[in-house]
Amino acid sequence: MKFDVPNTDSPSEKVKALPSKSLAKLVWMLVRPYKKWMVIIFTAMVLETLMSLATPWPLKILIDNVIGHHKLPGWLSWMERVFPGENKMQFAAVAAVSLIVMAAIGALAGYLNSYFTESIAQYVSNDLRRRIYHHLQRLSLAYYDTHQTGKLLSVITSDVSTIQDFASATMMSITVDFLTIIGMLGIMFYLNAGFTLLAICITPFLLFFVSRFKKVMKKATHEVRVDQSNMLTVMQQGLESIRAVNAFGRQELEENKLKKVSMETVGAALKARRVKSVLNPVITLIVAACTAMVLWQGTDLVLKGAMTVGSLTVFLWYMNKFFSPVQDLAKMTSTIAQATVALERIQSILDTEILIADLPGAEDPGRLTGDIVFEKVSFAYNSDEPVLKGIDLHIGSGQRVGICGPTGSGKSTILSLIARFYDTTGGHVYIDGKDITRFSIDGLRSQIAFVLQDTVLFYGTVRDNIAYGRPEATEAEIIEAAKLANAHEFISHMPHGYDTVVGERGVTLSGGQRQRIGIARAVVRNSPILVLDEPTAALDTEAEKIVMEALEQLMQGRTVITIAHRLSTIADSDKIVVLHDGVIAEEGTHDELIELGHIYAGLYNNQASSKHPLHKIIS
């Protein structure tokens, strides 16, 4: 069977509707594209319920009208016309056939029900995963300063799969159970109103139990999920840093960390289990007491001739079945609690405002020339600790500016502000005379290329890694970029050239080779502003020389801002800025600063003679 899948290919459209105000709204947003399927599912559920409700009636007819001697009820009098005479086995045959027909209709409805429910569950979890990831991709870096990746991963994987299970299994049975309860109550009233009231009287007690336990379950479930996330974080960090763990021989420490969080998860899960285990026996006892009452009183009625044996049998069947959906609903308390907690955790991510967002009317800047002005710029990661204090700086287009200063003086922070990884807490940054907050973020960042201390290689081919700077780059552009970056030669010697897979579990590259791929990536991006954050700091002299040659090619015709501890790297810059404690302590060309004979001069001379990195000397 093949059905059209609703087109939900553009999560960005939906994400615009966020933040979602309530869980119900979030659920509705998720299932809305599948309205047609929901109608099919609901119809199938009603049919399935009707067939299940009708199941005991052939038995009643057999007991009362075939084996017993009661007259057929009015609505079955047509059977006497169709099968005249005393051959009651024909009635039995009709009852038997009707059982099969009902089972067949029920089975078909069940098939449609689970087919579409499973489909919705799969598509909804796909939408949800993509929606969360889409949102995470656009959250400000400040969000990641306070949220661990392991916890976010656990939401995208475990919480989404909890919702999927809930949507495919639990939601369906809850609806069927509700429909069954309503249908049964109607028929039971028809059979014996008194007994039915007995069942109804007990229901509020059951619901009271269920709701009391639901609260406890939800709390326990929440604890379990938090502990599971912690566990994932510990494992992720332990495995990610496996080299450091081995180098320091701290395997046991890492195992103990896992042991601790793992035991906490077990503890929280056991708390939930205690609550869950009490619930079922209580309900089973109540149900048994109720059934015993009907059995006792019902037999009395049958003996007095006030009720037929068939009716009592059917009533008991319903009674038993009536409590089973109620019992199911109670059992589902924990599943519902898990789904609610999962949705809440998902919603807490989706409701996080994208801290750095396009302002209304933000425009694509087009090709910038790269004239950058910092005007009284202040910044603090935490409101009480300013990192930059009133920075005034002009970097002309095509200029090369070097920034140096002791560790923690705010050098990288200045670069982050240019690309709007963070927004200034005071003052403004202008590029080409326009406040950068008036540019669209994507447009602004497309004008900046970064080469950082350590180039991250993504799992994929060398070609893809270079094209990461601009996916539409042609093969010729990629090779040209690699040549400019002094990378073509070593790439050509790799087992599959540009098709060699690198990154995690791919071919391992040396630091210098990685940097040259990073430079090729920046060349391909071809943006007017180039940001170099200690691109050669991790390299030995030989590798540094090759990378510097490549960088020289890359810097041609661009505005370049370089952070360096090794002052020789920035000595020939058009301007050198010395940052100290969040303020610009000195500014000028190398010669001017040497002549000034102050901080820079002292450091340069010291470094030249002792080769000590700047930060060690200053701090």
Ligand X SMILES: Nc1ncnc2c1ncn2[C@@H]1O[C@H](COP(=O)(O)OP(=O)(O)OP(=O)(O)O)[C@@H](O)[C@H]1O
Interacting residues toward ligand X by CB under 6 A? 145, 381, 387, 405, 407-413
Smallest gap from residue 449 Cβ to ligand X (A): 19
CA distances from 205 to 202, 212, 217, 277, 293 (A): 5, 11, 18, 18, 17
Smallest gap from residue 441 Cβ to ligand X (A): 18
Nearer to ligand X, 387 or 517 (CB): 387
Nearer to ligand X, 124 or 387 (CB): 387
Smallest gap from residue 429 Cβ to ligand X (A): 15
Nearer to ligand X, 170 or 412 (CB): 412
Smallest gap from residue 618 Cβ to ligand X (A): 10
Smallest gap from residue 533 Cβ to ligand X (A): 8
Smallest gap from residue 407 Cβ to ligand X (A): 3
3 state SS of 118: helix
**What single-letter amino acid sits at 480?**
E
**Helix, strand, coil percent content, the chain, rounded in steps of 5:** 65, 10, 25
Smallest gap from residue 405 Cβ to ligand X (A): 6
Nearer to ligand X, 210 or 417 (CB): 417
Smallest gap from residue 426 Cβ to ligand X (A): 16
Nearer to ligand X, 145 or 300 (CB): 145
3 state SS of 360: coil
CA distances from 454 to 509, 515, 541 (A): 12, 7, 16
Smallest gap from residue 132 Cβ to ligand X (A): 22
Q: Report the alpha-carbon distance of residue 13 to residue 27 in Å, rounded.
A: 17
Nearer to ligand X, 78 or 381 (CB): 381
Taking a C-beta distance cutoff of 8 angstroms, is the pair 319, 195 a contact? yes
Smallest gap from residue 614 Cβ to ligand X (A): 9
Nearer to ligand X, 283 or 404 (CB): 404
**What single-letter amino acid sits at 558?**
R
DSSP character for 24? H
Nearer to ligand X, 79 or 452 (CB): 452
CA distances from 400 to 48, 418, 582 (A): 74, 15, 21
Nearer to ligand X, 145 or 572 (CB): 145
Nearer to ligand X, 110 or 410 (CB): 410
Q: Which positions ≥6 away from 512 have C-beta within 8 Å? A: 539, 540, 542, 543, 544, 546, 547
Q: Report the alpha-carbon distance of residue 177 to residue 185 in Å, rounded.
A: 12
- Evaluate the CA torsion angle 239, 240, 245, 250 in order and state its sign: negative
Query: Which segments of 452-574 are extended strands (E)?
Result: 460-461, 501-502, 529-533, 559-563
Smallest gap from residue 576 Cβ to ligand X (A): 15
Residue 557, phi then psi, degrees to nearest 5: 70, 15
Q: Report the alpha-carbon distance of residue 608 to residue 88 in Å, rounded.
A: 113
Q: Report the alpha-carbon distance of residue 49 to residue 187 in Å, rounded.
A: 13
Distance from chain centroid for Cα 601:
51
Instruction: Name which of 212, 219, 114, 224 is nearest 171 in CA terms.
Output: 114
Taking a C-beta distance cutoff of 8 angstroms, is the pair 337, 163 a contact? no
Nearer to ligand X, 385 or 472 (CB): 385
- Paired sense of beta strands 426-431 and 434-435, if any: antiparallel
DSSP character for 6? P
Nearer to ligand X, 145 or 240 (CB): 145
Smallest gap from residue 139 Cβ to ligand X (A): 14
337: enclosing H helix or E strand = helix 309-350
Nearer to ligand X, 383 or 541 (CB): 383
Q: How many H helices and E strands in the chain? A: 24, 12
Place of tokens 């609806």: 175
Smallest gap from residue 362 Cβ to ligand X (A): 24
**What single-letter amino acid sits at 28?**
W
Q: Report the alpha-carbon distance of residue 111 to residue 532 in Å, rounded.
A: 60
